[in-house]
Amino acid sequence: MGQLDSIGSPADVRALTPRQVQDLADEIRTFLVEQVSRTGGHLGPNLGVVELTIALHRVFESPLDTMVFDTGHQAYVHKLLTGRSDFSQLRRKGGLSGYPSRAESEHDVVENSHASTALSWADGIAKANQLQGRGDRSVVAVIGDGALTGGMAWEALNNIAAGQDRRLVVVVNDNGRSYAPTIGGLAHHLDTLRTTQGYENVLSWGKRTLRRSGTPGRMAYDALHGLKKGIKDVVAPQGMFEDLGIKYVGPVDGHDEPAVERALVRAKAFGGPVIVHVITEKGRGYTPAEQDIADRFHAVGRIHPETGLPLAPSRFGWTSVFADEIVRIGRRRKDVVAITAAMLQPVGLAPFAEEFPERVFDVGIAEQHAATSAAGMAFGGLHPVVAVYATFLNRAFDQVLMDVALHRAGVTFVLDRAGLTGDDGASHNGMWDMAMLGVVPGLRLAAPRDEQTLRVALREAVDVDDAPTVVRYPKGAMGDEIPSLEDVDGVDVLARHGGQGPSVLVVGVGAMASTALRTAEILAAHGLRATVVDPRWVMPVPAALTKLVGEHDHTVTIEDGVVDGGVGALVGQRCREAGISTAVQAVGIPRQFLDHATREQLVGTLRLRPEDVARDVLTALGKAV
C-alpha cells in the first residue's frame, strides 16, 4: 500500500515522516497524470502545487484553520489530502467537482472559480474570527501570480494590511503564468524577487564571518542589522509588499517541501498578515507539460498519459473561426485592436498577436480594466475587440454600462464559451450574458448559428462605432452550416413546414438554431404549421421579428441563456408594447446555479432537447402529446 492510500484526512498527512512525504508527493503526481488523462481537467496547475499543498496541510489544521484557494482549479491535491480520492467521474454529474465544493467537504470554502477573489474572502473570514474571539485559528489564502494582476486582489491587500493583529497568511504561488505568461509591472517585480534568492546566502555569509571574527555580541548585532538592511535594499526588493505593512517571507522553492513548511511555520507564528512567496513550476514532474510553452496542459481533455497528446483530435471549433476572421479584419482595418484578460491562446487571439503584435493588449486578469481601457481606445480613434469567456464579462458589467455604453463607445465584446459549458460547474457556465446585457441602452448583441454567420457578425460588429456590440458563441466544435431560405428584413428564415393546425413560429437563438429546426419537424409531424427563424442580431429585438410573431398563432423562443430577462422575455415584451397578442413561450435556462455535468446531461435535465420543447409547445396549445 502506497502513502496516498493511507491518507484519509489532513491528520494523516501531518503524521508522515519526511521520507514518506516525498513518496506521497511522487504518488500524487502519478495519480494526477493517470486520472486526469482519462477524464480531462486542470492538470498543469495541480502538478505544480503538490509539495505546497502538502506543506499547507502539515502546518495548518483544516478545517479549524480556513484554506481558501483563488480560482480553485489547483485544488485537486487538496481534495486528495482531505479524503477525496475517487477521480473516476471528475467534473461529471455525480462525481467530484473540478473546483472546491462545500457539498463535498467541510475543508472547502470558496466555490467561485473566478480569479482574484480569495484575498477578499480571507480578509472577511479573518475579521470574523477576530470579532468572535477565535484567536486560535488562522486563515490561509493561496493565490497565483496571475490572479494578483486582478485589481480586486490589491483592494484586498490594502485592507489586509490594516489588520496587523489578524492571523492571515497569503501564499503567492508564483509560477510566472496564468493561462499564459503573467504580464505587467507585478510580473516584472516578481521576476526581480525570483532572481534575488542570494539574499539569504549573503546573510548567512555575514553571520559566519561575524562569528569567526569574534566580534562582541552588541557590535555583532549592530553589524548584522546593518548588513541585512543594506543587502535587502540591493538584492531583495520585496518592499512593494512590506510597504503595505505586510510581512514578507521568501522567495521559497515551492518544490522543496521542508523549506515550504519552515516558511509557513514562521508565517503562522507571526500572528499578523504575512505574505509567503513560493516559486513553483506549472506541470512539475510531467515531461510533456514541463516542455510545453503554449500551456496546453493548463486544462486538458482526455489525453494519452505517456505523450500528453489528445485521444481524439479536436474538431474545427467556434474559437478557431473567430481566430481566423479577426486576423482577416485586422488586415483590412488598421484601427482594430485586440484586448485579452490573460487568455490570449484560449480565446483565439494568438494568430492576431503573431501578425499584429503591437495591436494586442494583454491586461492580465482584469476584465474591468479591459472594458474601460477599451472605451479609452475608442475615444482615441481605435476599435477595440475585447475577447473573454462569457462568464468573465459578468465581472465588468458596470464598466460595459457606465464607461462603454454611456459614452457610446464603439467597442466589440466577443464572448467565447457562451451558454452551457457544463464540466466546470456553476461559475463557468456562460449563461448570464444575454439577460444581463439586455438592460444596457444601445447595446447590440449577435448570436451566430454557424461559421458563416459568425464571420458576418464579426464584420458587422466592428463597423459599429457609436455603441457597444457583442458577439457570443458556445464552447467546442462547430456544427454543419445552416443555410437560410430567405432574409426577412434581417431575420433569417431557416425552414417552413406546412400543416392544417395552428401556426407556430420557432425562434432559435444562436447555437440553438439546430434545436429549433428539429423542434419544428416534431411539431409538423403533429400537424402544426411551423416556421423556423434566426434573428442573428437578437438585441435589440428586430422589428421584423415582432412582425413575424404577429403573423403566427403561437411563438416559442429557444435560447441557451437565463430565460428570465433573456431574449424570449424581451421578444414578448416588445410584442406586448406593439399590441401583438400572440403568446410568446420562452424556453431557456432557469434562474439557478447549475452543478457540474456534461453539456448533454444539462440539456436533458433542463428540458432543452427538441422533443422536450415540442412537447411543451403542444401542451401549451392543448394538443395531445
Annotated binding site: 73, 113-115, 145-147, 175, 286, 367
Spatial separation of the C-alpha atoms in residues 280 and 374, rounded to whole Å: 33
- Is residue 367 flagged as an active site residue? yes
Alpha helices in 292-418 (DSSP H): 318-332, 350-355, 367-379, 390-393, 397-398
Q: Which three cell numbers stand for residue 461?
A: 460588429
State which H helix or E strand residue 269 sits in: helix 257-270
Spatial separation of the C-alpha atoms in residues 172 and 150, rounded to whole Å: 14
Residue type, 422: G
- Is residue 92 flagged as an active site residue? no
Q: Which three cell numbers stand for residue 387?
A: 475577447
Helix, strand, coil share (%) of the chain residues, nearest 5 = 45, 15, 40
Catalytic residue among 91, 166, 284, 395: 395
Going by C-alpha positions, the residue among 344, 338, 399 that lies closest to residue 367 is 399
Q: Are strands 491-497 and 486-488 parallel, antiparallel or unpaired?
A: antiparallel
DSSP 475-537: SSB-------SEEETTEEEEEEE--SS-EEEEEE-GGGHHHHHHHHHHHHHTT-EEEEEE-SE
Q: Are strands 583-589 and 486-488 parallel, antiparallel or unpaired?
A: unpaired
List CB contacts of 79: < 8 A, sequence separation 6 or more: 96, 104, 105
- Is residue 93 flagged as an active site residue? no
Half-sphere exposure of 335 (CA within 13 A, CB side): 14
Spatial separation of the C-alpha atoms in residues 85 and 98, rounded to whole Å: 13
List CB contacts of 195: < 8 A, sequence separation 6 or more: none
Q: Residues comprising the binding site for thiamine diphosphate?
A: 73, 113-115, 146-147, 175, 286, 367
Contact (Cβ atoms closer than 8 angstroms) between residue 488 and residue 550: no
Burial class (CB in 10 A: 0-12, 13-18, 19+), 420: buried
315 CA to centre of own chain = 22
Buried b (16+ CB within 10 A) or exposed e, 332-363: eeebbbbbbbbbbbbbbbbebbeebeebbbbb
Q: Which three cell numbers stand for residue 124?
A: 472577511
Going by C-alpha positions, the residue among 476, 479, 460, 544 that lies closest to residue 507 is 544
Contact (Cβ atoms closer than 8 angstroms) between residue 427 and residue 529: no
Burial class (CB in 10 A: 0-12, 13-18, 19+), 36: buried
Catalytic residue among 58, 84, 177, 282: 282
Contact (Cβ atoms closer than 8 angstroms) between residue 509 and residue 557: yes
Spatial separation of the C-alpha atoms in residues 523 and 302, rounded to whole Å: 38
The 336-340 sheet, strands edge to edge: 360-362, 336-340, 383-389, 412-416, 469-472, 444-446, 537-539
Catalytic residue among 261, 325, 367, 559: 367
Q: Residues comprising the binding site for Mg(2+)?
A: 145, 175
Q: What angle do CA 557, 560, 563 make, to 5 degrees?
A: 60
Spatial separation of the C-alpha atoms in residues 623 and 341, rounded to whole Å: 50
Q: What is the DSSP letter of 60?
A: S
* Adjacent-strand bridge partners of 252: 278
Catalytic residues: 282, 367, 395
